[in-house]
Amino acid sequence: MLDYVTSYLSSNTTPGQAGNVVWALIYILIVFAGVSIAVMAMNWLERKALAHFQIRLGPMRVGPHGLLQPIADAIKLLTKEDIIPENADRLVFWIAPLIILCASFAVYVVIPFGPTHAITDLNIGILFMLGVSSLSVLGVVMAGWASNSHYPLIGSLRSSAQMISYEVAMGMAVVSAILMTSLNRSGTGTLSMIGIVEAQQQQQIWYLFKFFPLGFIAFAIFAIAMVAETNRAPFDLPEAESELTAGFHTEYSGLRWSLFMLGEYAAMIAVSSIAVTLWLGGWLRPFPNALTGATWDLAFSLLPGFTFLVLAVVAWVGVIRMPKHSYFRMQTLGLAGFAVLLGLIGLVLFAPPVRDRIQDIFWFTAKVAFFMYMYIWYRATFPRYRFDQLMRVGWKVLLPVSLGVLIGTAVVGMVL
Amino acid sequence: MVPITTLHYLVVAAALFVLGVIGVLTRRNVVIVLMSIELILNAVNLNLVAFSRLWGLHGQIFAIFVITDAAAEAAVGLGILIAFFRNKETVNIDEVDLLKW
Amino acid sequence: MTPVATPFFFYFLAALTLLSAILVITQKNAVHSALALILGLLAQAGLYLMLYAPFVAGVQIILYAGGIMVLFLFVIMLVNLERSQKEEQFNRQWLVGSLAATALGGLLVAVFIKGKALFPTSSTQIAEASNTQQVGELLYGQYMFPFEIASLLLLVAIIGAVVMAKKRI
């Protein structure tokens, strides 16, 4: 038994390929915990960043600078009363958030955080991700139907129509990126996620810059379609409060609504990971070929530690600027402790054994975090699309452009 | 345990087929009849893919074409259903008994 | 996977498929039937994976469970269901129909068992790693003509569905 567990450590593959169930379960637990923490951090960051975009402060009371706000939100949602509408179909009402949650989380099985840091590496990785993320449409439709009320029904019809419209453009953009993987030395492309990043490594170019501007347009199409796919601003008409009183999750309260929110944020992180893997080079550090050599490697490997040290300095500046009143003592102490914790993590990330292993995960997470910040930026900046404008963009603008990019990529790939 | 052979998959496919045929023959709701037709098509697909393991990939290609056909047929069938429902306000298949109304 | 797991997964997935098929044809509420069908389609995708057909499994999940069933759910939501739930669910010839279908099933199984000698016992092990490449080569090489015809069929189906469901042409 112990051999079964330790034999994986010497193999150089993902747990799924090594067939090791125990380590696969451990990886699944790590990913699940990581995504949950990321969702809570994203919740805090969204409220603070949105507030600062709108020249106000956001949550400041619950912890120092609102750092404990997500925990307060979670406790509030867990202790709320669970209301089920009168003539609602109870089975479907109960199952709808579970479907969205399972569909969003099942995508994480193939996301590659590093060359061997994935739960498994399916041969049809990208096909699996597209398919499973399209199952969340079913959850949305069922949520609106089971609520037995007008606003959720209209909201779910609009939301699901929007999601299936943008899935087509998304799929075309993905196919044009997959086409680029076939320009390998071996001559065959691959659908596996780790294979796509390794193809970018072999061809020594991020697919964002390949066949410029074709790769960039495909990336832009995917970036727009993924915002529409997750029902986020500016495509959030189905769940906008001023238009439809929260759309398909109007009648859900407490824990069920938090499942919807968890599923939505998890889906956001999942589709951002797809975009990072396909176009932004996954776990590869920036400029792997232009800036080679031991010194550049060392400089780039010091970046994770520096990031955390910078965050610790920012937190320490916040500590210094706290009002010197006895009421703020607890918050000052808490923020100081948080700054010290960040500094310690930064120092740990400077140590050479940790430094070498953390590189891939850090760069992947940094790129996904960039996408998360862009999501918040879009929400603060763009006005909402009206529904007919939304559908027009999806079918009449994105789909022809994505078809053109696909044909262009195929022709240029054959010619060059 | 008995190793799983092709025969096991064929029996599952036959059972699915029978259940689909029962659904088509006995239910009154048009939507459920259409869903039973999808069950029949799935049984055929399972049969094709089970045999393709023995005799090459042609079975899988055929299965892909069957899935495409099922999508087209479901779309047109549901369109007919909507057109019919708009006129007669019922989804009972026993009421579809006039050639022209 | 170890040899112990394969029969377990097969029986589990097969039982799930058949159970969901039974639920599809017996449920009174059409939405519950659609949910059961989705479960059956996903279990069938698992069976395809066991048959070394990952591409067909992926296509099944994307198209069937994620596309066709969404279409079904939309239409179920559009047609009025409360009245149909109070009506008779099974028509008058349910017994004869079931018996005839079961007889057909018995005939099929008898054919399988009698003709077992005709199947090759050893399966040509299809390499799973290159399944998508081989399917692609066949689809765009030998089966190019059916591929184009299928796309034409889908175009006709789209136009037909739009014309059928419009209120005024």
DSSP result, A246-260 = TGGGSS--THHHHHH
Looking at residue A372, its pLDDT comes to: 93
The phi and psi torsions of B84 (rounded to 5 degrees) equal -70, -40
CB C51 within 8 Å of CB B49? yes
Q: Please give the Cα distance from B59 to B66 (Å, whole number).
A: 10
Q: Which of A300-304, C42-46, C150-154 has the lowest mean pLDDT?
A: A300-304
B95 touches chain C (CB under 8 A): no
At C125 the pLDDT is 61
- Percent pLDDT > 90 in chain A is 42
DSSP per-residue codes, A288-322 = TTTS-SHHHHHHHHTHHHHHHHHHHHHHHHHHHTS
Separation of alpha carbons A145 and A268, rounded Å: 24
- Of the candidates A19, A127, A135, the beta carbon closest to that of C58 is on A127
List subunits contacting chain A, requiring 3 or more Cβ pairs under 8 Å. Answer: C
C110–B contact, CB cutoff 8 A: no
Percent of chain C residues topping a pLDDT of 90: 50
CB A189 within 8 Å of CB A181: yes
Q: pLDDT tens digits for C15-64?
A: 999 999 999 999 888 889 999 999 999 999 999 999 889 999 999 999 99
Provide the phi-psi class of A78: left if phi over 0, else alpha when psi is between -120 and 50, else beta: alpha
Determine the Cα–Cα distance for residues C108 and C113; give it in Å rounded to an integer.
9
Contact list, C137 vs chain B (CB under 8 Å): none
Query: What phi and psi values does residue B70 have, to the nearest 5 degrees?
Result: -60, -40
What whole-number distance in Å separates Cα of residue A154 and Cα of residue A400?
A: 28
Contact yes or no for B19 and C91 at CB 8 A: no
Residue with tokens 């007889």: C103
Among C29, C31, C61, the residue with its CB nearest the CB of A131 is C61
The rounded radius of gyration (Å) of the Cα atoms in chain B is 17
Q: How far is the CA of A108 from the CAs of A75, A278, A315, C66, in angstroms? A: 26, 15, 31, 18
Nearest-angstrom CA–CA distance, A322 and A332: 7
Q: Is the dihedral of CA B90, B92, B97, B99 positive or negative?
A: positive
CA distance linking residue C52 with residue C128, whole number of Å: 6
Q: Are C135 and B60 in contact (CB under 8 A)?
A: yes
Nearest to A135 by CA among C73, B31, C155, B70: C73
Query: pLDDT, tens digit, for every residue of A239-261?
Result: 765 565 667 777 888 888 899 88
Residues of C in Cβ contact (< 8 Å) with B42: 40-41, 44, 64
Which residue in the set C29, C67, C131 is minimally distant from A123, CB to CB?
C131
**C51 and C123 Cβ atoms separated by less than 8 Å:** no
Pairwise CB contact (< 8 Å): C74 & A141 = yes
In C72-120, beta strands by DSSP E: none
Taking alpha carbons only, the member of B39, B47, B51, B45 closest to residue B64 is: B45
The fold of the B6-92 domain, in CATH, is Helix Hairpins (1.10.287)
Token pair belonging to A179: 């086409």
H-run or E-run covering A54: none
CB atoms within 10 A of CB A329: 11
pLDDT tens, B40-96?
A: 999 999 999 999 888 888 999 999 999 999 999 999 999 988 888 887 777 788 777
pLDDT (average), residues B8-22? 94
What are C147's two structure tokens? 């591929």
For residue A244, the model assigns a pLDDT of 57
Q: What residues pair up with C90 in beta bridges, in sequence order? A: B27
C91 with B28: Cβ contact below 8 A = yes
Percent of chain A with pLDDT over 70: 97
Residue C2: other Cβ atoms inside 10 A: 7
Q: What is the DSSP letter of C129?
A: T
Q: Do C18 and B3 touch (CB under 8 A)?
A: no
Tens of pLDDT, residue by residue over A29-58, are 999 999 999 999 999 999 999 999 999 998
Q: Rank A11-20, A140-149, A181-190, B12-21 by mean pLDDT and report only the highest.
A: B12-21
**What residues pair up with B29 in beta bridges, in sequence order?**
B92
Token reading at A231: 């029902």
The one-letter amino acid code at A27 reads Y
Report the gap between the CA of C46 and the closest CA in chain B (Å).
11
pLDDT digits (tens, 9 = 90+) for A333-375: 999 999 999 999 999 888 888 888 888 899 999 999 999 999 9
Read off the pLDDT of residues A87-134 as tens digits, 9 standing for 90 and up.
778 888 889 999 999 999 999 999 998 888 888 888 888 999 999 988
Q: C121 or B57, which is more confident?
A: B57
3-class secondary-structure state, position A205:
coil
Neighbours of chain C (3+ CB pairs under 8 A): A, B
What's the average model confidence in pLDDT over A199-214?
87
Distance CA B89, CA C133 (A): 49
- DSSP notation for chain B: -----HHHHHHHHHHHHHHHHHHHHHB-BHHHHHHHHHHHHHHHHHHHHHHHHHH-THHHHHHHHHHHHHHHHHHHHHHHHHHHHHHH---BGGG---S--
CA–CA separation, B54 and B61 (whole Å): 14
* Spatial distance between the Cα atoms of A95 and A315, rounded to a whole number of angstroms: 42
Q: Model confidence over C77-103: pLDDT tens digits?
A: 877 666 666 677 788 888 998 999 999
User: Which residue in chain C has the smallest CA separation from A182?
Assistant: C133
Whole-number pLDDT of residue C1:
41
Q: How far is C66 from chain A (nearest CA, A)?
A: 5
Q: Which pLDDT belongs to residue A69? A: 92
What value, to the nearest 5°, has the Cα angle with vertex C62 and ends C61 and C65? 55
Question: What number of residues does chain B have?
Answer: 101
CB contact under 8 A, A124 and C57: yes
Parse chain B into domains and list their residue ranges: 6-92
Query: Which pLDDT value is given to residue A241?
Result: 57
The pLDDT of residue A243: 61
Q: Counting beta carbons within 10 angstroms of the beta carbon of residue B36, is it exposed (0 to 12), middle (13 to 18) or buried (19 or more)?
A: buried
Q: Is C90 touching B (CB cutoff 8 A)? A: yes
Contact criterion met (CB < 8 Å) for A160 and C70:
yes
Give the integer Cα–Cα distance in Å for A277 and A29: 22
- CA pair distance A54, A5, nearest whole angstrom: 52
Q: What is the mean pLDDT of chain A?
A: 87
pLDDT band, very low/low/confident/very high, at C2 (cuts 50, 70, 90): very low
Judged against a pLDDT cut of 80, whether residue B15 lies above it is answered with yes
Region A132-157: mean pLDDT is 85
